[in-house]
Amino acid sequence: MRQLIAGNWKMNGLTAASAALADAILAGADSLPCDLLVCPPFTQIAALAAILRGTMVSLGAQNCHEAASGAHTGDISPEMLADVGCTAVILGHSERRQNHHETDATVHAKVLGAARASLMPVVCVGETEAQRDAGQHLAIVGGQIAGSLPENFGGVIAYEPIWAIGTGRTPTQADIEAMHCHIRASLFAHLGPAGARVRILYGGSVKPDNAAAILAIPEVGGALVGGASLDPKHFLAIAASAIGG
Ligand code: PGA
């Protein structure tokens, strides 16, 4: 499977800077050995859709509501995202689970909404440092997989240990491999043979200097990149480290 390098811009990017970042990524995107996805804030999606349309860089959002429309002040539906040119959406990021009280059940409903609108869900899972220290990390992430994914799930998983996000710290390669193998087994248990087709990204302090080592780990199907995705040189260097498939 071709690896996927996805940029999560989080709450960053005014109009001029976002267009410049998209242009710079596009300028270096030719002949990379991976699929590329950028996920800007909602306010930049329409502008980026115009820049990225017809290119090999896909466009995604960072969240959505589960319903198609209705009385949900301040929310954005999957259909609205598809309408403005998104083909993917990040769901259940730990910052949303923590700051917006999203549960596995919330994420499950949003995954169904995304599928209804033909968006590829990128579902985030990951443990806290206390859970890892207590030896609970495999059980926690297995529970998130079982609780967040419908049985016909056809998207992507991003394993992001919460203590590695934005901290410059990463798990050991052995720890990443153990978790990704555990996630693969959980996917088979939950989805049957279709579990083989789900790419499992690693996220959390992926940088140009650690990307090659992380992307070479068995069962790592790409990377979800936060901070380093805001610098086109860094994002492209990470993408150049991908293993072609
Ligand atoms: P980071 O963020 O690369 O800045 O650690 C990753 C993420 O939260 O998706």
> Could you report the per-residue pLDDT of 46-93, keeping only the tens digit for each?
999 999 999 999 999 999 999 999 999 999 999 999 999 999 999 999
Q: Read off the pTM.
A: 0.98
C-beta of 195 in contact with ligand 1 (< 6 A)? no
Helix (H, G, I), strand (E, B) or coil at 172: coil
**Atom of ligand 1 at shortest distance to CA of 228?**
3
Closest CA to 79 of 106, 102, 58, 61: 61
- The lowest-confidence range among 94-103, 133-142, 164-173, 236-245 is 236-245
For 209, residues 6+ apart whose C-beta sits below 8 A from its C-beta are none
| Percentage of residues in the chain having pLDDT higher than 70 | 100
Give the residue, out of 122, 129, 224, 235, with the most ligand 1 atoms within 8 A of its beta carbon, to mutate for a pocket test: 224
Per residue in 35-44, pLDDT (tens digit) is: 999 999 999 9
The alpha-helical segments, DSSP class H, found in 28-125 are 45-52, 78-83, 94-99, 104-116
Per residue in 99-127, pLDDT (tens digit) is: 999 999 999 999 999 999 999 999 999 99
The Cα 202–Cα 90 span in angstroms is 14
Q: Per-residue pLDDT averaged across 28-41, rounded?
A: 96
Q: Per-residue pLDDT averaged across 130-154, rounded?
A: 97
Per residue in 189-226, pLDDT (tens digit) is: 999 999 999 999 999 999 999 999 999 999 999 999 99
Q: Distance between alpha carbon 214 and the CA centroid of its chain, in Å?
A: 16
The Cα 18–Cα 32 span in angstroms is 21
Asked if pLDDT for residue 31 goes beyond 90, the answer is no
Give the residue, out of 129, 206, 214, 229, with the most ligand 1 atoms within 8 A of its beta carbon, to mutate for a pocket test: 206
> What's the pLDDT at 42?
98
> What's the pLDDT at 245?
65
| Percentage of residues in the chain having pLDDT higher than 90 | 98
> What's the pLDDT at 244?
81
